[in-house]
C-alpha cells in the first residue's frame, strides 16, 4: 500500500521526489514541519482545555477531571491502534492522510465554539451526562474523542514513513533525520508551553 502510494505520487510530482535540500529529500521538510505543528497545536489546545471547559462551557471542575483524564489515556493508547491499522490494513501513507484529517476535524469540533462563547458563557446541561446532548458541550467532548483517534493514527507512522523516503545511498541523512524530526517535535512542545500563558492572558482563560 505504501509502495503504491509512493509510486502514484512519484508519477504526479517527479521533480519533487528528485529534489533535495542539503542532501535530504524535499518530502522530509513536510514531515519535520508536520511534527512541529502537530505537537504545537496539541499542546496549545491541551493547555487551555481545562480553562475552556470550566469558564466557557460552564463545566463543573469535578466533571472536567474525568473527561481530561479519559482524553489523556486515549491519547497514549490509540497509537497502538494506529500502528495496527497501518501495518495490517491501510499502510503508513494512507493512515497518515486519513487520520490527520480526522485529527483536524476533532480540533475544529472542540475549539470552533470558542469563537461564539468568548463573550457569552453557556449555562445549560448542568452535569457530565449533558455531554450527550447536541450542542457546544457535547460537540467539544466528541471532538476530544476524534482528536485522540486521529493523533493515534499518524503518531506511530510519521517518523517511520519519513525513514522510507531515503534512498540506499542516503544512510547518513537517514540516521540524522530521526534526530531532526524529534527535535522539531520537542520544539513544538516548548513553543506551545511558553505561548499558552500569553494566549490565555490575551484572550481570557481558554478561548
User: Where does the pLDDT of residue 95 fall: very low under 50, low under 70, confident under 90, or very high at 90 and above?
Assistant: confident
CA distance 107 to 131: 17
Residue closest to 191 by CA, chosen among 82, 36, 71, 26 = 36
| pTM for the predicted model, two decimal places | 0.71
Q: Look up the domain containing 180 and give its range.
A: 28-203
Residue 203 binned pLDDT confidence (cut-offs 50, 70, 90):
low
- 179 domain residue, yes or no: yes
From the CB of residue 49, how many other CB atoms can be counted at a distance below 10 Å?
A: 19
Tell me the per-residue pLDDT of 119-174, one tens digit each, with 9 for 90 and over. Answer: 444 444 444 444 445 566 777 888 888 888 888 777 888 888 888 888 878 888 88
Beta bridge partners of 24: 21
Max Cα distance, the chain (Å): 62
- Kindly state whether residue 191 falls inside one of the protein's structural domains: yes
- What's the number of domains the chain is made of? 1
Query: Can you give the CATH number for the domain in which 141 is found?
Result: 1.20.1250.20
Q: What's the Cα-to-Cα distance from 58 to each of 8, 97, 133, rounded to whole Å? A: 49, 35, 14
pLDDT interval class at 191 (50, 70, 90): very high
Helix axes 136-163, 61-85, angle to 10 degrees: 30
Amino acid at each position: 500500500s505504501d509502495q503504491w502510494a509512493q509510486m502514484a505520487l512519484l508519477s504526479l510530482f517527479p521533480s519533487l521526489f528528485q529534489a533535495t535540500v542539503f542532501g535530504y529529500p524535499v518530502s522530509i521538510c513536510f514531515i519535520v514541519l508536520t511534527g512541529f505543528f502537530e505537537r504545537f497545536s496539541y499542546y496549545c489546545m491541551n493547555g487551555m482545555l481545562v480553562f475552556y471547559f470550566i469558564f466557557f462551557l460552564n463545566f463543573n471542575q469535578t466533571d472536567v477531571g474525568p473527561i481530561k483524564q479519559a482524553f489523556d489515556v486515549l491519547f497514549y493508547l490509540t497509537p497502538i491502534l494506529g500502528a495496527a491499522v497501518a501495518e495490517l490494513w491501510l499502510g503508513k501513507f494512507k493512515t497518515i492522510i486519513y487520520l490527520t484529517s480526522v485529527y483536524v476535524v476533532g480540533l475544529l469540533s472542540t475549539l470552533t465554539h470558542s469563537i461564539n462563547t468568548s463573550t457569552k458563557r453557556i449555562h445549560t446541561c448542568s452535569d457530565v451526562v449533558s455531554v450527550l446532548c447536541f450542542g457546544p458541550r457535547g460537540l467539544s467532548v466528541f471532538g476530544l474523542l476524534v482528536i485522540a483517534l486521529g493523533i493515534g493514527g499518524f503518531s506511530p507512522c510519521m517518523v517511520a514513513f519519513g525513514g522510507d523516503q531515503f534512498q540506499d545511498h542516503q544512510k547518513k541523512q537517514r540516521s540524522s533525520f530521526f534526530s531532526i524530526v524529534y527535535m522539531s517535535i520537542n520544539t513544538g512542545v516548548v513553543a506551545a508551553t511558553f505561548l499558552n500563558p500569553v494566549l490565555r492572558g490575551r484572550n481570557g482563560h481558554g478561548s
